[in-house]
Structure 1
Amino acid sequence: MAYQALYRVWRPQRFADIVGQETITQTLRNALEAHQTSHAYLFTGPRGTGKTSAAKILAKAINCPNLKDGEPCNHCSSCQAITAGTLNDVIEIDAASNNGVDEIRDIRDKAKYAPTSAQYKVYIIDEVHMLSTGAFNALLKTLEEPPSHVVFILATTEPHKVPLTIISRTQRFDFQRISAQAIYQRMSYILQEKGITFEAAALKTIAKAAEGGMRDALSVLDQVLSFSDNHVTLENALQVTGSAAQQLLADYMQAIQAQDTPKGLEILQQVLAAGKDAGRFIEDLIEYSRDLLLYQQAPEMVEKIELGDIDDQFKQLSQAFAATDLYQAIDVLNDSQQQLRFTNHPDIYLEVATVKLCQSNRTSVPAPAAPEATAEFSQMQQELKNLQQQLANLRINDGPTTSTAPAMVAKPRRSSNQHTNVAAIYPVLDHATKASLQQLKSVWTELLQMLTVQHRALMHASKPVAASHDGVVVSFDSDFLLDRANNNQSMVDALENGLDRLVGYTPKIIFVPQDEWPQVRKAYIQQHRQEKAHTATPPSSAQAAPVISQAAALFGSEHIEIKND
């Protein structure tokens, strides 16, 4: 006997053998047991999900005299004849090649006659959406008033093309895509029954490449068995499906995350040199990026999708990528996938996409806090809490009845210029605009998220209060944190680098105590008004205005007296 494909040999013969459609098979079994079967059914769903197999099993079950628990016996003459396709009372029609009015009229005329050997005459019309309008109209009358001994089973992958008048006269069952886990288990069972060895990773690759179709999975498995001499290996599965190995995908995404363009192009050349399909490689990258994104929010879902095949490198990449970067990567890959449809040089678009991905702006994701960082953060919080408690005690005890307590907890007075660098603040205020300040306020939270845990702890009590293109004034509500920030040049550099990424320029950052900022701003406004007033004086005074500004910046405007000659 000639060789038969796996999907034909292992076609389900009982409802229990249909994978991934438990709701539908249970409903049909219950209807059969209760003798409440319909005269017409419509099975819809993607290819390879079991529509035709379910139709044949239903035809056997309706005509089986030994029905048990809604399942056909598969041993009686009726069941065996339907399985072999030799029973005249079960007619299979391909609507793609028999879509005319004459063919449907012939069915309508023959349906009037009683079955010859079975209890019911069953018509299975596959791809029913291919029927012409006239053919549907001819079928409609039969579905409205069917003979009691006739059952119609319509199957289609495109139910939206079936007229609603037809759908309303049938019981509709929507077959879903089969999960990769169910496909993997079915293939494992078949290979074990055949005594064929396999690698679990190979079957997982085939199951994911099948995209929910059991027939597609078994067809690919057939190819792999022929290619690998009855031993299923991961390498051969990748070769047949055109997929890229998970390690290559991980290395490629690692190069993107590190913005290592040469490394990314090198991996791309390895993929193309191995004969992988360019479109399939982009599709694998999109799925990998999606899995990284989903793993940040729902790890259990990704483990189910990937059949538990999650390694440490994948987990590290999921933590290293920001969600916005993955959104951008998926958009770039999707655009490249669309462009591949109209080109004969897919390698060019893949190379361009690789350069785009590697050179795009990265949003840094703070690394998990180390134990020592957590300890330092806790210490800083405790110190801040102690200082706040001392301030509260000072306010409570600040009265005429206190004699010794204030001396113990009094906060040392600072000089007017201990924290406030007016010489640096005033030039910023000269060119400060409301638009610049609003721009920095809008990105301030994102800017702090780009810092390390220690630096975020320092800056959590800060906010921008004035800004120009060249500088930004940041106020602190804690003198303790302000002192720490002024002495932390690495944090200032990180802030300036972050601003360069977010707003496209690098303003100089000046810190100021929050309680001193109103006085600084008021003094600047008064000085600005004085300078404006002096511009109306003779040229000699106008020429002296810059000198006055410098003197006011150094000694304070309240200590300067201007006398005109």
Structure 2
Amino acid sequence: MAYQALYRVWRPQSFADVVGQQHVTKTLQNALLHQKISHAYLFSGPRGTGKTSAAKILAKAVNCERSPIAEPCNECDACKGITDGSIPDVIEIDAASNNGVEEIRDIRDKVKYSPNVVEYKVYIIDEVHMLSIGAFNALLKTLEEPPKHVIFILATTEPHKIPLTIISRCQRFDFKRITAMDIVGRMSHIATESGVKYEENALAVIARAAEGGMRDALSLLDQAISFSQDIVKVEDALTVTGAVSQGYLNTLARAILDRDVSKALSALEELLFQGKDPARFAEDFILYYRDMLLYQTAPNLEESMERVMLDDEFKGLAQETEASQIYQYIDVLNQAGQEMKFTNHARIYLEVSIVKLCQLEAPRSVSSPEVGEMMKKIQSLENEIQQLKANGVKAQAEPAAQPAKKPVRAKKGFRAPVGQIQEVLKNATKEDLNLIKSRWGDMMESLNQRQMRSQAALLNDAEPVAATTGSFVLKFKYDIHCQMAMENQAFISGMSQILQELTGSSYSPIGIPEDQWLPLREDFIRNSQNESPDGESGEAKEEDSLLSEAEKIAGDLVEIKD
């Protein structure tokens, strides 16, 4: 086929051609120059932002015959072979159609063989989030410690679907949406090099419709070139993208400002007759008012306008429309846009919103004479009050109404078994507590191995604080975690069984939240001081009793200082 789409012809062949991702390209170039290439990379970001292109450029740069260099030369045999796909050492895999365990096992078996032509064998796995869990597990070890001659580059649009074990083994680069200004600059260069005539505003319309993707922008430009005659005009771009011309938006905005419902609905009818999408029109109208608000507050930031061109009609509307009205307009249109997503009658919602905009009451501003009159009345009232005070008249303040007492609700939550915990504290020994603490990590690992990960997560913020023969007190940081753990009998039995296997003794946990444990511990220590044996009451005995009980409860956490 003789003709190729613009995005294929103008695919970036060097890092300088990757538009809007300087934070990625600069880092990779520095790594290439200093020969600090990682064994695995993860490129994530929206569609059409240059992830796969950057991966191929990196594959050429590391294998270029002139390396170390910041850019591939695109002239040596290695660069040319990787560009045309004739070198088998750069393997590009579509994970959407090769997402099984067998495909990854095949990679794992072949990865140990040295490259045939170039220095590095590069695997580019596109849409890697489509791999199955089994495929990810098969890739783990190879991805962590591949042979020295292998580089993995993973590309995805949905990084949240990739296991953290995979992400942690890669250097991650997040590609961002390309700004409209950068897209216009790139399209302008491509159109000039291709000999295509165009209007600047037409490229701006296409760039906004691309929503940050260069590939989408070039596809729309391709359509606009095919649709136009000799020059790509704004009307051609509007037709291809389905956007609305500013003339219609100005007409509709004027009708809304004048509260002319008939004129507004007529303009809307003409737009819909041309085949414009109601949801797209609502989005365009929101951006129109957004730019109007921006023009009112910062008229010099013309490059920040997303939708409008600063013609005389728009400037006049911006001067006549209050900012508070624009806020109301955007709220109504945004609500209509949300409702149109879930209905088959989007046109009705759009028409209703236009009528509502025309019927909105303009905010009433208080004039200066009214403010002056009000201030005079206030001053007069203050003078009268001063005269009454001078004559000895005291204002009787009405008794303040007592606020109605709100009914006290019983606090819901887990209530620890205080009696059982006090029995444990009375008989607690340091040896039992240290024994449980020493095997606590092994117990957590055993819970994970026995498919009880969700229950084991409840113990992340829990710790044993006192223990005696047969039972121990388990303190939880959060009340809800304590309640969930103590109400799960299977979990308690599993924990007791594992502790018995690890320690040789049977221990049953008694849970208590931290906010209940602290006062209970203080009360126990205080009572222990008061209950000293006969004939031994005194400061020394009380102090020794306090220290012994603290050591019994907290174990090695207590440090005694004079």
Tell me which interval the TM-score lies in, with the shorter structure as reference length. Answer: 0.5 to 0.7
Residue 39 (structure 1) aligns with: 39
**What is the alpha-carbon distance in structure 1 between the residues aligned to residue 362 and residue 388 of structure 2?**
37
Alpha-carbon spacing, 1:130–1:300, altered in 2? closer, same or farther (3 Å): farther
User: Following TM superposition, by how much is the alpha carbon of 1:218 offset from its aligned partner in structure 2, in angstroms?
Assistant: 0.3
Instruction: Kindly indicate whether the alpha-carbon contact (under 8 Å) linking 1:303 and 1:309 is maintained by their aligned counterparts in 2.
Output: no
**What is the alpha-carbon distance in structure 1 between the residues aligned to residue 20 and residue 358 of structure 2?**
40
Matched, 1:80 2:80: yes
Residue 456 (structure 1) aligns with: 368
Residue 235 (structure 2) aligns with: 235
Match of 1:515 among 383, 397, 411: 383
Residue 111 (structure 1) aligns with: 111
Residue 415 (structure 1) aligns with: none
Alpha-carbon spacing, 1:308–1:346, altered in 2? closer, same or farther (3 Å): closer
Instruction: Kindly indicate whether the alpha-carbon contact (under 8 Å) linking 1:303 and 1:310 is maintained by their aligned counterparts in 2.
Output: no
Deviations 1:373-427 (A, max 9, x none): xxxxxxxxxxxxxxxxxxxxxxxxxxxxxxxxxxxxxxxxxxxxxxxxxxxxxxx
User: Following TM superposition, by how much is the alpha carbon of 1:282 offset from its aligned partner in structure 2, in angstroms?
Assistant: 0.8
The worse-fitting range, judged by mean Cα deviation, of 264-273 and 5-14 is: 264-273
User: Following TM superposition, by how much is the alpha carbon of 1:130 offset from its aligned partner in structure 2, in angstroms?
Assistant: 1.0
Look up the equivalent residue of 2:343 and give its one-letter code: T
Look up the equivalent residue of 2:377 and give its one-letter code: S
**What is the alpha-carbon distance in structure 2 between the residues aligned to residue 192 and residue 56 of structure 1?**
26
**What is the alpha-carbon distance in structure 2 between the residues aligned to residue 294 and residue 231 of structure 1?**
31
Residue 70 (structure 1) aligns with: 70
Residue 549 (structure 1) aligns with: none
Correspondences of 1:96-175 after superposition (within 5 Å): 96-175=96-175
Deviations 1:119-163 (A, max 9, x none): 100011111111111111111111111110000111111111111
Residue 367 (structure 1) aligns with: none
SS of equivalent to 1:254: helix
Look up the equivalent residue of 2:383 and give its one-letter code: D
Match of 2:377 among 459, 475, 478: 475
User: Following TM superposition, by how much is the alpha carbon of 1:335 offset from its aligned partner in structure 2, in angstroms?
Assistant: 2.2
Residue 16 (structure 2) aligns with: 16
Instruction: Kindly indicate whether the alpha-carbon contact (under 8 Å) linking 1:286 and 1:334 is maintained by their aligned counterparts in 2.
Output: yes
**What is the alpha-carbon distance in structure 2 between the residues aligned to residue 301 and residue 43 of structure 1?**
33
SS of equivalent to 2:354: helix
Residue 441 (structure 1) aligns with: none
Residue 60 (structure 2) aligns with: 60
SS of equivalent to 2:49: coil
Deviations 1:458-517 (A, max 9, x none): 625735xxxxxxxxxx7154xxxxxxxxxxxxxxxxxxxxxxxxxxxxxxxxxx675357
Residue 324 (structure 2) aligns with: 324
Alpha-carbon spacing, 1:460–1:146, altered in 2? closer, same or farther (3 Å): farther
Instruction: Kindly indicate whether the alpha-carbon contact (under 8 Å) linking 1:42 and 1:167 is maintained by their aligned counterparts in 2.
Output: yes
Residue 558 (structure 2) aligns with: none
SS of equivalent to 1:462: helix
Residue 290 (structure 2) aligns with: 290
Alpha-carbon spacing, 1:194–1:276, altered in 2? closer, same or farther (3 Å): same
Deviations 1:26-60 (A, max 9, x none): 11111101100111111111111111110110000
Alpha-carbon spacing, 1:73–1:258, altered in 2? closer, same or farther (3 Å): same
User: Following TM superposition, by how much is the alpha carbon of 1:253 offset from its aligned partner in structure 2, in angstroms?
Assistant: 2.1
User: Following TM superposition, by how much is the alpha carbon of 1:521 offset from its aligned partner in structure 2, in angstroms?
Assistant: 12
**What is the alpha-carbon distance in structure 2 between the residues aligned to residue 182 and residue 50 of structure 1?**
13
Matched, 1:224 2:237: no
Look up the equivalent residue of 2:92 and give its one-letter code: E
Instruction: Kindly indicate whether the alpha-carbon contact (under 8 Å) linking 1:180 and 1:207 is maintained by their aligned counterparts in 2.
Output: yes
Alpha-carbon spacing, 1:300–1:56, altered in 2? closer, same or farther (3 Å): farther
Alpha-carbon spacing, 1:151–1:267, altered in 2? closer, same or farther (3 Å): same
Residue 359 (structure 1) aligns with: 359
Deviations 1:210-232 (A, max 9, x none): 11111000000000111114521
Correspondences of 1:163-562 after superposition (within 5 Å): 163-229=163-229, 231-301=231-301, 303-306=303-306, 309-364=309-364, 450-451=365-366, 455-456=367-368, 459-460=371-372, 462-463=374-375, 475-477=377-379, 515-516=383-384
Instruction: Kindly indicate whether the alpha-carbon contact (under 8 Å) linking 1:242 and 1:276 is maintained by their aligned counterparts in 2.
Output: yes
Alpha-carbon spacing, 1:194–1:352, altered in 2? closer, same or farther (3 Å): same
Look up the equivalent residue of 2:258 and give its one-letter code: A
**What is the alpha-carbon distance in structure 2 between the residues aligned to residue 118 and residue 88 of structure 1?**
9
Alpha-carbon spacing, 1:260–1:198, altered in 2? closer, same or farther (3 Å): same
Instruction: Kindly indicate whether the alpha-carbon contact (under 8 Å) linking 1:101 and 1:135 is maintained by their aligned counterparts in 2.
Output: yes
Instruction: Kindly indicate whether the alpha-carbon contact (under 8 Å) linking 1:265 and 1:351 is maintained by their aligned counterparts in 2.
Output: yes
User: Following TM superposition, by how much is the alpha carbon of 1:359 offset from its aligned partner in structure 2, in angstroms?
Assistant: 0.7
Look up the equivalent residue of 1:175 and give its one-letter code: F
Look up the equivalent residue of 2:72 and give its one-letter code: P
Look up the equivalent residue of 1:515 and give its one-letter code: N
SS of equivalent to 1:153: strand
Residue 514 (structure 2) aligns with: none
Alpha-carbon spacing, 1:51–1:461, altered in 2? closer, same or farther (3 Å): farther
Instruction: Kindly indicate whether the alpha-carbon contact (under 8 Å) linking 1:180 and 1:305 is maintained by their aligned counterparts in 2.
Output: no
SS of equivalent to 1:264: helix
Instruction: Kindly indicate whether the alpha-carbon contact (under 8 Å) linking 1:291 and 1:302 is maintained by their aligned counterparts in 2.
Output: no
SS of equivalent to 2:276: coil
Report which of the two structures shows the higher radius of gyration computed on alpha carbons.
1
**What is the alpha-carbon distance in structure 2 between the residues aligned to residue 341 and residue 476 of structure 1?**
53
SS of equivalent to 1:201: helix
Residue 401 (structure 1) aligns with: none
User: Following TM superposition, by how much is the alpha carbon of 1:456 offset from its aligned partner in structure 2, in angstroms?
Assistant: 1.9
**What is the alpha-carbon distance in structure 2 between the residues aligned to residue 255 and residue 109 of structure 1?**
70
**What is the alpha-carbon distance in structure 2 between the residues aligned to residue 293 and residue 304 of structure 1?**
12
Look up the equivalent residue of 2:341 and give its one-letter code: R
User: Following TM superposition, by how much is the alpha carbon of 1:518 offset from its aligned partner in structure 2, in angstroms?
Assistant: 6.7
Alpha-carbon spacing, 1:320–1:188, altered in 2? closer, same or farther (3 Å): same
Alpha-carbon spacing, 1:277–1:49, altered in 2? closer, same or farther (3 Å): same
User: Following TM superposition, by how much is the alpha carbon of 1:194 offset from its aligned partner in structure 2, in angstroms?
Assistant: 1.3
Instruction: Kindly indicate whether the alpha-carbon contact (under 8 Å) linking 1:181 and 1:307 is maintained by their aligned counterparts in 2.
Output: no
**What is the alpha-carbon distance in structure 2 between the residues aligned to residue 256 and residue 19 of structure 1?**
40
Aligned-residue identity in percent: 59
**TM-score, normalisation: structure 2:** 0.66
**What is the alpha-carbon distance in structure 1 between the residues aligned to residue 285 and residue 266 of structure 2?**
16
SS of equivalent to 1:475: helix
Deviations 1:419-476 (A, max 9, x none): xxxxxxxxxxxxxxxxxxxxxxxxxxxxxxx13xxx426625735xxxxxxxxxx715
Alpha-carbon spacing, 1:305–1:213, altered in 2? closer, same or farther (3 Å): farther
SS of equivalent to 1:244: coil
Deviations 1:161-189 (A, max 9, x none): 11111111111111111111111111111
**What is the alpha-carbon distance in structure 1 between the residues aligned to residue 273 and residue 308 of structure 2?**
29
Look up the equivalent residue of 2:129 and give its one-letter code: H
| Paired residues, number | 393
The worse-fitting range, judged by mean Cα deviation, of 65-74 and 308-317 is: 308-317
Structure 2, unaligned stretches of length 5 or more?
395-562
Instruction: Kindly indicate whether the alpha-carbon contact (under 8 Å) linking 2:284 and 2:307 is maintained by their aligned counterparts in 1.
Output: no
Look up the equivalent residue of 2:248 and give its one-letter code: L
**What is the alpha-carbon distance in structure 2 between the residues aligned to residue 109 and residue 267 of structure 1?**
66
